[in-house]
Structure 1
Amino acid sequence: MSRLTKFFAAIIAWVFPMTANAEDTYFTATGQEDGKPLIFRSLKAVPAGVHEADLPNRVIILWRYQSELNGMPGADANSAQTALEDALMPMDVNESGRQILVVTGNNRKEWHWYVKDFDTWIAQLNQRLATSPVYPIEISHTYEPLWTSYKDFLVEVNGL
């Protein structure tokens, strides 16, 4: 069982829709991992106009932090994470990449993306962050043209 599957299976039902714009609907859900709370923010479905195979590279940006708040980020970490997310926001376009899931808790925050071309996307990210503080992030990517991890997550949430 993968690490993602473990916390998908631990989700406790609390899902509600949020609309960020006319084409995308988001939801949040909560769960637990290692006895600590997790918060998931995700697109409810593959965005309109997106064909999964056009964005075949799954990217995870991971930010580990220490917390005295039951695994949730403190005010300083949260503020810095928000700044990073704000810097990423202009890159969230159908043609080059979409952020589909954010996981917060158990001393980490993860941003999950599907992107067209990893090398081009990472170059854009580096350019966007060139004048930012150095963020303590790790970036990994895999080729996943069917968006299997994201769809598995949705199945787990919808099955509650």
Structure 2
Amino acid sequence: MSSIFPGDLWAVGEARIDGLSVIVRFRTGMPSAPDRQVNENLIIISWPYTGIESGMPNDEDKQSTNSFEEAIEKGFEGSDVGVQVACLTGNHVKEWRYYTRDVEAFLDVFNQCLAGHPVYPIQLRMFQDPDWKALSELQPEGSDQVH
């Protein structure tokens, strides 16, 4: 499904939430309106952690979340079921944002990715977001690049 982002460009920025730094990695463009409408299901995966005083993960949290992230990125890499659009880290939580056309198919691939992994302290939330606000809200104003 990464074909809806042919340039596959990402940016990294920093925000502050509750006085704590949050590192935001996000795609710089938007898919065409028809692609956004077909893939209107937003899935947010959240991993709360204790971390360090600044709200960033400690070394153990980093290792665990990186292992998790590598597994899901690898699983969805060649898939046409879901596409990651952002990852936020800070304020004692790591969050990944994905879009999909088929929630059940997404969950099937997601579970296959994690087969054999330990149980992770994650939460999945699903929303309909045909305008892709969960991505556009992270992009700088006036960033209307459509792929």
Q: TM-score scaled to structure 2, two decimals?
A: 0.84
Q: Which residue of 2 aligns with 1:98?
A: 83
Q: Which residue of 1 aligns with 2:125?
A: 140
AA in 2 matched with 1:115:
T
AA in 1 matched with 2:41:
N
Deviation at 1:47, TM superposition (A): 5.2
Provide the secondary structure at the position in 1 that maps to 2:60.
Answer: helix
Unpaired stretches in structure 1, ≥5 consecutive residues: 1-21
Q: Distance in 1 between matches of 2:90 and 2:142?
A: 17
Deviation at 1:93, TM superposition (A): 5.2
1:34 lines up with 2:18 in the alignment = yes
Q: Distance in 2 between matches of 1:108 and 1:148?
A: 20
Provide the secondary structure at the position in 1 that maps to 2:95.
Answer: strand
Deviation at 1:155, TM superposition (A): 4.3
- Post-superposition Cα deviations, 1:87-117, rounded to whole Å, max 9, x if no partner, equal 1113145732110010000000000011111
Deviation at 1:28, TM superposition (A): 0.2
Deviation at 1:157, TM superposition (A): 8.5
Q: Distance in 2 between matches of 1:23 and 1:107?
A: 32
Q: Which residue of 2 aligns with 1:152?
A: 137
Matched-pair contact (CA < 8 Å) for 2:10–2:27 = yes
Q: Which residue of 2 aligns with 1:61?
A: 45
Structure with greater strand share of residues: 1
Provide the secondary structure at the position in 1 that maps to 2:124.
Answer: strand
Matched-pair contact (CA < 8 Å) for 1:62–1:108 = yes
Q: Distance in 1 between matches of 2:36 and 2:91?
A: 30
Q: TM-score scaled to structure 1, two decimals?
A: 0.77
Matched-pair contact (CA < 8 Å) for 2:49–2:92 = yes
Unpaired stretches in structure 2, ≥5 consecutive residues: 1-5
Choose from 49, 52, 64 the match for 1:80: 64
Q: Distance in 2 between matches of 1:94 and 1:66?
A: 33
AA in 2 matched with 1:129:
L
> Larger relative contact order (C-alpha < 8 A, sep ≥ 6)?
2
- 90-99 or 58-67, which deviates more: 90-99
Q: Distance in 2 between matches of 1:145 and 1:153?
A: 16
Number of matched pairs: 137
- Post-superposition Cα deviations, 1:17-56, rounded to whole Å, max 9, x if no partner, equal xxxxx731100000111111110000111258x8112211
Matched-pair contact (CA < 8 Å) for 2:51–2:61 = no
Q: Which residue of 1 aligns with 2:3?
A: none
